């Protein structure tokens, strides 16, 4: 077969020889849709078929290769009985067993008195060695194809090793030469192979099983760089856009005087950074990273005040209706003595009111609109949107951020907020297209949450404490990892726990979990917010964003099963008012050393940024619960802990290079990691 053309690498797999609709469907189940996906589907192990084993030296349960003579074929005429072929060598004999096989096919494969090479898993039945449905059967002249150490891939139903080997070797053995995007001195300095040699080595050696091998590290660096090129290009595109609007900042100072508290130093610094962006002639594209309860929302509302004073509209969007409603109520309090017109819009807004709001936005009669994702539907237009603020931005990927930046027009600044602390290693690779502000301090009146740990066998000691909390008009979260009982995992069940607690505190308990629909979930959260119930038994759905000022106790079961960062987020749901917040971590006995360390760190620190770093250091990025679900874990090969040096190298590389995505030098790399579409959308 001739070398593959470069273009076919990015074509559908069915363009390869021997792949029809059925096999293509099976491959797509493994997310192998393009030919390039075969290149990136690395072997996780290998099968040693390289040695010919005598029949008297076979080991049951192992995959082994034998050279035998066919003696007898047995095709029973009774349905469902297997076909059997008796074979032998000079020492012993063996049965080759086939189920659901065609007689004609087997007669061609096994010719009596001819020698064959067979490879498969050895079993022992009725005092005989057997191989059932062997992986390979071939004539002696082709035995070298079988007698090899063969890469082992993660496969799916309908594809066996032999079939996938034919597909992968068709690609790996015929790779075209690719124009390298790195200079030769850079490759040499970092001990990297060129791209073609590197990919072949990953499939032909054990390197793919070692994430610190030089070939694996080259692949990781490629992945990180592809990500950074997109972010860098996005940033350049945004910064090229020149604003043409005036800016005033006196109104913000007037509101600050009326606030019943003073901003922290961090809040003041971040507000100043935002104001400088708003005054500049380039568009703002900034994220506020703030720990749980650090006061990000008040900073964003103060920034909004300045934009409104400058005669522009503002939009503040949150992922859930209840969180958006809280922002709406806070905004009304802050702007109560002003003429600012504020409206709320969500999927539940009735049709008549929705039409009026949409019309008022177009006419410029609304200064601030607060709501859910519905704010950015195509049919909603603004007269002069000057600032878009997005809360809990981790719901959005790079493409969505780019789309959002375009939505408001050239004069619209964009401010994102996140309560998910990101470890330093990840900052550039996640937010390289944005300016970053951090609020690290908590408000001065906010008390440090007391964190305690208790073995689950002493759970009965909690009932009187909970009763005391309820009598003191405090509300309680009780968090469990799973919804249903599981016979496979030693986790608590939220449903079972609800039944237990409801018997002890009748009519004061509600249950909320991820399987509930959005409307039902928000209905229960509203009841809790209005103090119609005092104990909320929950899975981790209460983790992000929502402010329940009357909730001052949270009990987390199986605390050792959660990541540190997630425990910190959960803990941040309490102690948000004037009263002391308490977090109780329940755990089973026999904790691992790591689990003990995590609980100790949480008891000693309330710093979300420090906790995120420790969580990743102790557990490894791949195991941090919640990152993948929130869209933060966006790497297939790179790990910020294991490959920290490569993240730093990629940052240095991209800052030192003038990368022009239009010159095509990096187009292959971008296509390889599915970034080309985003780049193309970002090119003017």
pLDDT at 482: 60
Residues of the chain with CATH 3.40.50.300: 267-439, 450-605
DSSP, collapsed to helix, strand or coil, labels residue 639 as: coil
Number of neighbouring beta carbons within 10 Å of residue 188: 10
Task: Specify the DSSP element, H or E, that contains 452.
Answer: strand 450-455
Return the percent helix, strand and coil in the chain, to nearest 5.
45, 20, 40
Q: How far apart are CA 632 and CA 627, in angstroms?
A: 5
pLDDT at 683: 42
267-439 folds as Rossmann fold (3.40.50)
| pLDDT tens for each residue of 423-466 | 666 777 677 778 889 888 877 777 788 999 888 888 888 999 99
Check if the beta carbon of residue 154 is closer than 8 Å to that of residue 176.
Answer: no
pLDDT at 490: 41
Name the percent of the chain lying above pLDDT 70.
89
Residues in the chain with pLDDT values less than 50: 1, 487-491, 543, 622-632, 683-684
The hierarchical CATH code for the domain 50-147 is: 2.40.50.140
Q: How far apart are CA 448 and CA 607, in angstroms?
A: 10
Task: Specify the DSSP element, H or E, that contains 561.
Answer: none
Burial class (CB in 10 A: 0-12, 13-18, 19+), 437: buried
Number of neighbouring beta carbons within 10 Å of residue 667: 17
pLDDT at 112: 95
The architecture that CATH gives domain 450-605 is 3-Layer(aba) Sandwich (3.40)
Our CA dihedral for 649, 655, 656, 662, rounded to 10 degrees, sits at 110
Token readout for 356 is 């009026």
Q: Where are the beta strands (DSSP E) in 60-127?
A: 63-74, 83-88, 93-98, 115-125
Work out whether strand 83-88 and strand 535-538 pair parallel, antiparallel, or are unpaired: unpaired
Check if the beta carbon of residue 371 is closer than 8 Å to that of residue 324.
Answer: yes
Is the pTM higher than 0.75? The answer reads no
Residues of the chain with CATH 2.40.50.140: 50-147
Distances (CA, A) of 295 to 227, 326, 656: 31, 13, 36
Q: How far apart are CA 567 and CA 570, in angstroms?
A: 5
Q: How many helices (H) and strands (E) does the chain have?
A: 24, 21
Check if the beta carbon of residue 626 is closer than 8 Å to that of residue 645.
Answer: no
pLDDT at 418: 83
Buried residues in 471-486 as b, exposed as e (16+ CB within 10 A): eeebbbbbbbbbbeee
Q: How far apart are CA 293 and CA 291, in angstroms?
A: 6
pLDDT at 37: 94
DSSP, collapsed to helix, strand or coil, labels residue 402 as: helix
Work out whether strand 435-439 and strand 285-290 pair parallel, antiparallel, or are unpaired: parallel
């Amino acid at each position: 077969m001739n070398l593959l053309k470069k273009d076919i690498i990015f074509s559908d797999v069915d363009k390869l020889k021997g792949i029809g609709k059925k096999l293509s469907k099976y491959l797509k189940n493994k997310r192998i849709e393009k030919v390039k996906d075969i290149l990136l589907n690395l072997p996780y192990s290998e099968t040693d078929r390289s040695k010919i084993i005598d029949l008297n030296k076979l080991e049951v349960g192992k995959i082994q290769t034998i050279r035998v003579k066919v003696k007898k074929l047995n095709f029973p005429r009774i349905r469902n009985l297997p076909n059997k072929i008796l074979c032998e060598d000079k020492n012993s004999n063996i049965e080759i067993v086939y189920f659901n096989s065609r007689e004609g096919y087997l007669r061609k494969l096994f010719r009596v008195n001819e020698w064959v090479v067979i490879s498969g898993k050895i079993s022992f039945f009725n005092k005989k060695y057997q191989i059932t449905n062997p992986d390979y059967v071939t004539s002696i002249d082709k035995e070298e194809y079988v007698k090899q150490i063969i890469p082992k891939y993660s496969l799916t139903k309908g594809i066996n090793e032999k079939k996938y080997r034919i597909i992968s070797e068709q690609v790996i053995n015929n790779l075209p030469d690719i124009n390298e995007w790195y200079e030769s001195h850079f490759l040499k300095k970092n001990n990297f192979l060129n791209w073609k040699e590197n990919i072949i080595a990953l499939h032909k050696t054990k390197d793919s099983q070692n994430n610190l091998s030089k070939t694996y590290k080259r692949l990781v660096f490629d992945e990180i760089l592809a990500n950074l090129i997109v972010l860098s290009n996005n940033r350049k595109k945004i910064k090229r856009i020149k604003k043409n609007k005036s800016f005033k900042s006196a109104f913000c100072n007037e509101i600050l005087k009326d606030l019943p508290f003073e901003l922290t130093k961090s809040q003041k610094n971040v507000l100043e950074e935002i104001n400088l962006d708003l005054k500049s002639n380039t568009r703002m594209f900034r994220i506020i990273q703030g720990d749980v309860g650090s006061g990000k929302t008040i900073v964003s509302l103060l920034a909004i005040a300045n934009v409104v004073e400058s005669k522009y509209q503002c939009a503040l969007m949150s992922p859930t209706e209840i969180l958006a409603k809280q922002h709406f109520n806070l905004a009304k309090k802050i702007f109560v003595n002003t003429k600012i017109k504020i409206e709320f819009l969500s999927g539940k807004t009735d049709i008549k009111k929705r039409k009026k709001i949409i019309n008022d936005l177009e006419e410029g009669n609304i200064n601030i609109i607060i709501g859910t994702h519905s704010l950015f539907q195509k049919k909603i237009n603004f007269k002069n949107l000057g600032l878009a603020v997005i809360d809990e931005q981790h719901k959005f990927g790079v493409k969505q951020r780019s789309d959002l930046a375009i939505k408001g027009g050239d004069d619209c600044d964009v401010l994102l907020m996140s309560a998910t602390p990101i470890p330093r290693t990840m900052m550039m690779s996640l937010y390289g297209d944005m300016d970053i502000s951090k609020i690290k301090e908590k408000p001065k009146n906010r008390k440090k949450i007391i964190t305690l740990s208790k073995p689950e066998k002493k759970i009965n000691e909690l009932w009187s404490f909970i009763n005391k909390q309820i009598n003191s008009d405090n509300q309680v979260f009780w968090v469990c990892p799973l919804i249903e009982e599981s016979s496979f995992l030693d986790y608590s069940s939220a449903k079972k726990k609800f039944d237990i607690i409801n018997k002890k505190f009748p009519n004061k308990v509600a249950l909320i979990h991820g399987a509930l629909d959005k409307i039902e979930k928000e209905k229960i959260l509203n009841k809790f917010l209005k103090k119609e119930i005092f104990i909320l038994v929950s899975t981790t759905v209460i983790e992000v964003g929502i402010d329940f000022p009357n909730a001052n106790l949270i009990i987390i079961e199986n605390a050792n099963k959660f990541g540190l960062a997630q425990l910190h987020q959960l803990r941040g749901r309490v102690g948000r008012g004037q009263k002391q917040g308490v977090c109780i971590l329940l755990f089973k006995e026999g904790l691992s050393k790591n689990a003990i360390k995590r609980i100790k760190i949480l008891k000693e620190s309330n710093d979300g940024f420090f906790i995120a770093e420790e969580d990743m250091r102790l557990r490894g990025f791949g195991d941090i619960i919640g990152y993948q679900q929130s869209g933060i874990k966006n790497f297939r090969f790179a790990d910020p802990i294991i490959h920290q040096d490569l993240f730093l190298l990629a940052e240095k590389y991209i800052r030192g290079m003038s990368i022009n995505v239009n010159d095509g030098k990096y187009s292959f790399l971008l296509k390889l990691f599915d970034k080309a579409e985003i780049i193309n959308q970002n090119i003017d």
